[in-house]
Amino acid sequence: MSKTDTKIVSHTGNQETFHRTPISRWERLSTGLRSRLNNIKTKENKQLNEVSIVSTDERGPPWMFITFVLIVIIPSIVSLLYFIFLASEQYVSEARFAVRSLAEESATENVDSGLMSMQASSQDANIVTSFIRSSEILRRLDGKINYREMFANSDADFFARLDKKASIEDFLDYWMKHVSAFIDGPSGIVTLTAQTFRPEDSKNLVTAILEESEKLVNEMSIRARDDMLVSFRNEVARTSQAYSDALAKLSSLQKQSGLLSPSEQAEQKSGLLTGLLAQKMDIDARMFVIRQSSGADAPSYRQLELTRKSIEEQITNLRNQLTGSGGASLSNVITAFTELETNRMVAEQLYESARRNYDQAFSASLKKALYVTVFVNPVIPEEAIYPRRLVAPFLIFLGLVVFWSTLTLVWASVEDHKL
């Protein structure tokens, strides 16, 4: 049969009769459309079945609600019950101080330029705050105050108190959470707080920390002053010893020569020598007159001659004392004395200069001396500030909500990538 024929079968008895009838073009088109519509319906049914399967899966357990209860609701209720019924009261004592140094104001600001003023030292305040947050403060407080017992109080709740067997590292972490020291930037004021389970413990702890901080600042001042003055102090000692040696040598020379001042002694002997020379000239003149008038045999001439001889011996003696070649001559003594006196004067000037420099350096070191000025003293607190029995649970709730939301978004993103 051809594609354009249709098989029509008629039954007459036992014989089949075939009739060929033509199929129009429109009938063929309708047949194709019906087959396509059937295919589309089949695909839609499959998609509906898949959607129904997915819907059936989504109607499973409410995981989002379950995770919200487990992650947010239950921990929030537990924290609320803890902070309201179990959390121990914690008392805070506070002190405020400043680390200051002496500074000399300019003459234009004060009539007396020697007036001193106190200036804040922010760098040294940072050193003190670092000291308070370090293990060194614990070492210094050990034996002076039982700070471990303050934080390991058996009356406090288990989660807030310190373990009695805590190591020094664990205790330092606990210390930094309960003892704080921070600096107000513009003013340089240090605010110190301590948080314990008893009011008197908080006050005593802040007082002890202040005392150790003052000791540290004093040690820093003394060390800085000693480092600055050590060279000047050594120079003063050296020049002082040189001056003492010069005085000792000069005194020894005076004792050996028996002269307190050889120059004055030389002046005196020079005056005596001048007088003797004048007497000798007078006697020579008189002897000349007597010899001309009475002759050399006259008794007066011989008397003057003896006198002249005695004067000459005295003149020779004085000249030997003044300019003799011996070691004990006055000229040699004067030379040695002048040398020693010059050394003494030089040593004295050097000593005075070193002493003056030392005094100036000492004054400068005083200007750099550090002082702890406490203007808010610690007192015994009357009310407990911590814990925040409502604020803390609310913050925990918010944090858990944020965590749960983030976790939910991450899980949804992972599921989307799977599809």
* pLDDT tens sequence across 243-299: 999 989 888 877 776 665 666 666 666 677 678 778 888 888 888 887 788 777 778
How many whole angstroms separate alpha carbon 100 and alpha carbon 121? Answer: 5
Averaged pLDDT, 220-243: 90
pLDDT of residue 20: 46
pLDDT of residue 55: 45
- Structural domains counted in the chain: 2
pLDDT of residue 15: 44
Range of weakest confidence among 124-133, 147-156, 257-266: 257-266
Domain membership flag for residue 191:
yes
State whether 376 and 346 are in the same domain.
Answer: no
pLDDT, tens digit, 9 for 90 and up, residues 375-412: 999 999 999 888 888 898 999 999 999 999 999 999 88
Domain membership flag for residue 129:
yes
Q: What share of the chain in percent tops pLDDT 90? A: 36
pLDDT, tens digit, 9 for 90 and up, residues 341-385: 889 899 999 999 999 999 998 888 877 788 899 999 999 999 988
CB 277 within 8 A of CB 315: yes
Question: In this model, does residue 90 exceed pLDDT 90?
Answer: yes
State whether 345 and 378 are in the same domain.
Answer: no
- Closest to 79 measured CA to CA, from 67, 89, 90, 71: 71
State whether 265 and 143 are in the same domain.
Answer: no
State whether 222 and 252 are in the same domain.
Answer: no
In which residue are the tokens 């004392």 written? 321
Q: What angle do CA 206, 210, 212 make, to 5 degrees?
A: 120
State whether 188 and 253 are in the same domain.
Answer: no
The more confidently predicted of residues 58 and 386 is 386
Averaged pLDDT, 109-135: 70
Question: In this model, does residue 122 exceed pLDDT 90?
Answer: no
Averaged pLDDT, 138-158: 88
Residues in Cβ contact with 308 at an 8 Å cutoff, skipping those fewer than 6 apart:
280, 283, 284, 287
State whether 306 and 324 are in the same domain.
Answer: yes
State whether 133 and 251 are in the same domain.
Answer: no
Rg of the chain in Å (alpha carbons): 58
State whether 228 and 134 are in the same domain.
Answer: yes
Domain membership flag for residue 4:
no
Residues in Cβ contact with 238 at an 8 Å cutoff, skipping those fewer than 6 apart:
354
How distant is the alpha carbon of residue 182 from its chain centre? Answer: 14
pLDDT, tens digit, 9 for 90 and up, residues 317-331: 766 665 655 545 566
pLDDT of residue 339: 84
Domain membership flag for residue 15:
no
pLDDT of residue 216: 94
Question: In this model, does residue 1 exceed pLDDT 50?
Answer: no
The more confidently predicted of residues 130 and 23 is 130
Domain membership flag for residue 43:
no
Domain membership flag for residue 223:
yes
pLDDT, tens digit, 9 for 90 and up, residues 154-201: 788 888 898 888 888 999 999 999 999 999 878 889 999 999 999 999
Q: What's the CATH code of the domain at 168?
A: 3.30.1890
Q: Which domain holds residue 358?
A: 240-366
How many whole angstroms separate alpha carbon 233 and alpha carbon 223? Answer: 14
Averaged pLDDT, 71-85: 92
pLDDT of residue 127: 92
pLDDT of residue 298: 78
The more confidently predicted of residues 68 and 58 is 68
pLDDT, tens digit, 9 for 90 and up, residues 12-37: 444 444 444 444 555 555 666 666 66
State whether 180 and 265 are in the same domain.
Answer: no
- Closest to 162 measured CA to CA, from 265, 226, 154, 198: 154
